[in-house]
Amino acid sequence: MTDNAHRTQNGKEEGYQADAVDVRKVWAMVGVLLLTLMVCCGVIAWLIHSLQAQHAAFSPPMSDLERERLLPPEPRLEVMPRLDGIRYRQQAQQQLNSYGWVTPQQGIAHIPLKEAQQLILQRGWPQPYAGQTGARDGP
């Protein structure tokens, strides 16, 4: 007697039998399931196609304004933030390392950063003009 069988009251063995599984029936069931799945997918694809065609038939044609690519409302996100950051840093470095006018009417100019640091070391901090407002005593 095997481990998976036991005797009943009438003396017959019952339990798992390796030859009780019909392989053809199992494969037939798998085939039926696959066929059903393919039919369902086909019906869904046909429904989607027909509904899109129906929607297109009832939709009015787009105007020129609708076809035109419109910009999103403000604030707009940066498309390439890394490149924008690199460009900003290059512009800042150029301004820090060059001569130029801040306000030509008042005669205020900017000079390269290294030169400005040397001038402050030589001359000390400049005193504010008497007419300037916003200067504070102390921190």
Look at residues 40, 11, 100, 92 and name the one whose alpha carbon lies nearest to residue 1.
11
Is 61 part of a structural domain of the chain? no
Number of domains in the chain: 2
At residue 132, the pLDDT reads 60
The answer to whether the CB of 112 falls within 8 A of the CB of 97 is yes
pLDDT of 62-103, one tens digit each? 788 777 777 777 887 788 889 999 999 999 999 999 999 989
At residue 6, the pLDDT reads 61
At residue 137, the pLDDT reads 53
Is 97 part of a structural domain of the chain? yes
- Residue numbers of the domain that contains 100: 85-123
Is 2 part of a structural domain of the chain? no
Average pLDDT over residues 24-46: 97
The whole-model pTM stands at 0.35
Average pLDDT, the chain: 83
Q: Cα–Cα distance between 93 and 99 in angstroms, integer?
A: 12
Is 51 part of a structural domain of the chain? yes
Measure the CA dihedral 119/125/131/134, to 10°: 120
Look at residues 4, 21, 24, 22 and name the one whose alpha carbon lies nearest to residue 13.
4
